[in-house]
Amino acid sequence: MSTENGGTTGRRTRATTGGAETIHNRIAMLRAERNVSRRRLAEALGVHYQTVGYLERGEYSPSLHLALRIARYFEVPVEVVFSIEPFPRIGQ
């Protein structure tokens, strides 16, 4: 697991840690819409399946390279998957 900014999995940040920046994402929603398992996504990205879970829960912030690869996998712009602001709930 890389802890460098340019690493494969990004750096670990906690939403509850003072000063840590939370990156919000829609990975779980996109996976569910497309019926893609964590393992399948992880294999396509070349990361461990637990990394996908950490990303979905906001326990890790992805590197820029990984964020772009995730967006490319789902064939959407990166800002559809990731945001520095919370995404609005569907239906609001």
What CATH number does the domain containing 53 carry? 1.10.260.40
pLDDT tens profile 7-49: 444 544 444 444 568 899 999 999 999 999 999 999 999 999 9
Reported pTM: 0.76
The CA angle 67-57-9, to the nearest 5 degrees, is 40
Structurally, the chain folds into a number of domains equal to: 1
Cβ contact 1:52 at 8 Å = no
For 56, the enclosing helix (H) or strand (E) is helix 49-56
| Residues 34, 86: Cα–Cα separation, whole Å | 22
- 15: domain range? 11-83
| Residues 25, 17: Cα–Cα separation, whole Å | 18
Residue 60 DSSP one-character state: E
Within-domain flag for 26: yes
